[in-house]
Amino acid sequence: KNEVEQSPQNLTAQEGEFITINCSYSVGISALHWLQQHPGGGIVSLFMLSSGKKKHGRLIATINIQEKHSSLHITASHPRDSAVYICAVKGADGLTFGKGTHLIIQP
């Protein structure tokens, strides 16, 4: 079974800061997802990637397949970015989720 570790578990930053959230996994995968869960509970899919880098607005996701590691970056962070960010990996036994990173951006 794939083990998915996210760091940090909790992160508080000031508005405008550059944010990095990390995800490491133990077994080779075919795809990795980054999800955002709002305080109200709703989940939004941010990225799905299997190699390289993707960018959407202020969000950037990268993956290094050899090192079994992915990062989610947020540039010019804003209080509305406050949420739980969840990494999920697709392996032979389906989708395995990390525990999430709770991000708070203070004005």
Q: Which stretch binds other proteins (CB under 8 A): 16-24, 62-70, 75-83, 84-92?
A: 84-92
Note whether 45 binds other proteins by CB under 8 A: yes
Name the DSSP class of 75: S
Query: Which of 101, 86, 105, 81 is CA-nearest to residue 12?
Result: 105
CB of 44 to other proteins, least distance (A): 7
What Å distances lie between residue 46 and 1, 66, 107, CA to CA?
24, 23, 23
| Tokens at 98, concatenated | 């990390």
Note whether 30 binds other proteins by CB under 8 A: yes
Note whether 7 binds other proteins by CB under 8 A: no
Residues lying near other proteins in the complex (CB under 8 A): 30-31, 33, 35, 41-45, 48, 86, 88-91, 93-100
